[in-house]
Structure 1
Amino acid sequence: MLGRAPLDALQSCETAPVNHAQLLFPDFSLIACGWLLCRFTALDRRVWDQVESLVYYFLFPVLLFHSIVRSPFDFAATSSMLGAGVAMSLCGVGLSYALPYLPWLGRYIDRADHAASAQVSFRFNSFICLALADRLAGPQGLLLIAVLIGVCVPLLNVAAVWPMARHAQTGFLRQLIRNPLIIATATGLLANVLGFRVPPWLEPTLSRIGAASLALGLMAAGAGMQFATLARAKVLATCVLSIRHLILPLMAFGLSRLLHLEPTQTSVLMAFSAVPTASSAYVLAARMGYNGPFVAGLVTLSTTLGVLSLPFALGVLR
């Protein structure tokens, strides 16, 4: 149930605005560290290839599972906001998929690059989501964002894998069954519904694995960056980042008004719509054999644009 406490927390937040640039700085600085280490030290691509495998097959799956099972879902109290979040995400998927087929844009878009980067349009950085929700509405905000993450992560991971599996003709179902991120989110949702809770003695270990996955995943993204590659696909980059940082916040604004969401739910939905794309997008593209450096560049630009889109969504629109 949503009581007076979340509203008080929201009013308190309005008198002490979130410093979005400060919140995003740790992620961006880790990406920069990875780039510097790979370019100017002995820790070259051979090292970071192994780091990517560790993050993709172990660290990120553990983090996703832990994030989903640690918060019980209350679907009845959050049904309107959950519906808005899912609808907004599906619209992002549809817009992203449609880009190569638009007559005035399709000829400028490489199909392989699009298959790898389509996910940038609709996936989200769950770590920044959690931090923002806590700052915006305290425990109630964390509960709301946990419901969104738990439902949208498996949905959007499936949507991320589909274009790459289809373009590579490797078999969509086989890619889903073998994808560790989808396996982790699906089992996490099942465990949550069944009432499974992580034992308290195991919580510190899983929390440290989660912290390691974030740090190493972002640094691996930085190590793979090649801005020259990004420059060769300016039209595609502009399109996917415009969907992520402009169109989705506008959709969230419209849905919040249409469904008459209360202030706390509106704030969480607006934050969800405007956060940077998932840092694991680069890892997924690289491990499936696509242009990882191009996606890493998009992740970097998305993290930078988040400094603008978050104040736009939470301040101007809201």
Structure 2
Amino acid sequence: MLEFALLLLPDFLLIALGFVICRHTALDRSVWSGVERLVYWLLFPVLLFTAIVRQPLALDTTLKLGLGGTAVVGLGFVLATALGRVPGVPSRLQASGAQVAFRFNSYVGLALAERLGGSASVASIAVLIALCVPLCNLGAVWSLARHGRHDTWRELLHNPLILATVAGLLANLAGLRLPEPVAVTLARIGAAALPLGLMAVGAGLEFGGLQQAPRLAAALLAIRHLALPAAGLAIGLLWALPRGQAQMLAAFAALPTASSCYVLAARMGGDGPYTAGLVTASTLLGMASVPVTMALFGWLHPA
């Protein structure tokens, strides 16, 4: 269990580094606002596009796995949206934080897959990422656009994360292979997304943010780290997925939320500090939920 916890430690350290740099150096909040825009409009979209294009998608042989992943994401979306109907829940905070309940950190997922099962597991997690990233981004943009009285469809059609994901899927399915210089250039641009995105989370962090609505935060984090891992384990059993795919579905369901939740909330007029607090809390909880879920998987699926 310790090795899985250590896998998440670098993400949290980058968040902490962003917080320290923003609060205690000349690189203050004015600098990090520009970094957020750079990550949102360029770095994350390039990373999503290149990650999807370079992974082979054998959708015909992984249909049940893909459906399982969409079911997990869908459950998180439904439960998080339902919280908005609970009396007394602040609508702006719910709209900002709902995405934390159903989005996932794909970078941690890819690293975890490589450690668990090598290339076969990476191929499985790539299918889940390719199918679920568009759904997660649609759900997140819809929640924020609806609350902010934006034109939801306009926001969806202009969202760089959704556009990059759709473009990556179409390019992959069309068999597009980028020229080596282009592929290397895009890979280097995308490689900057993770560290800068995580540090931007830390730079925008206000530890008092979660105190605005602690019960809502607890509910959203319980969906992300209790309900969804339980659903991933159950689907793998009930649908009789092959052991390797069932393991990847369980790991996928237990991942911490996406670091870009804060960037999206901040860019669409949501509550950035509250979302940043949720992302940090989810990263910490992920250091427990992933090892525990993997231990439960081993008990349910003995080798």
Check whether TM > 0.5: yes
1:98 aligns with 2:82: yes
1:1-318 matched pairs, under 5 angstroms:
19-101=3-85, 106-318=86-298
Aligned equivalents of 2:158, 2:182: Cα separation in 1: 26
Partners of 1:217 and 1:280 within 8 A in 2: yes
What amino acid is the match of 1:117? Answer: G
Unaligned runs of 5+ in 1: 1-16
What amino acid is the match of 1:81? Answer: L
Normalised to the residue count of structure 1, the TM-score between the two structures is 0.91
What amino acid is the match of 1:125? Answer: N
1:116 is displaced (CA, Å) by: 0.8
What amino acid is the match of 2:27? Answer: L
Give SS of 1:108's match: coil
Aligned equivalents of 1:163, 1:275: Cα separation in 2: 21
Aligned equivalents of 2:182, 2:256: Cα separation in 1: 30
What amino acid is the match of 1:119? Answer: Q
Partners of 2:225 and 2:254 within 8 A in 1: yes
Aligned equivalents of 2:67, 2:209: Cα separation in 1: 37
1:18 is displaced (CA, Å) by: 6.8
What amino acid is the match of 1:288? Answer: M
Aligned equivalents of 2:169, 2:236: Cα separation in 1: 26
Partners of 2:5 and 2:290 within 8 A in 1: no
What amino acid is the match of 1:57? Answer: W
Unaligned runs of 5+ in 2: 299-303
Normalised to the residue count of structure 2, the TM-score between the two structures is 0.96
Partners of 1:18 and 1:135 within 8 A in 2: no
Give SS of 1:198's match: coil
Partners of 1:31 and 1:221 within 8 A in 2: yes
- Moved >6 Å (runs of 4+): none
Aligned equivalents of 2:116, 2:138: Cα separation in 1: 29
* Identical-pair percentage: 51
Aligned equivalents of 2:278, 2:127: Cα separation in 1: 27
Pairwise CA RMSD: 1.1
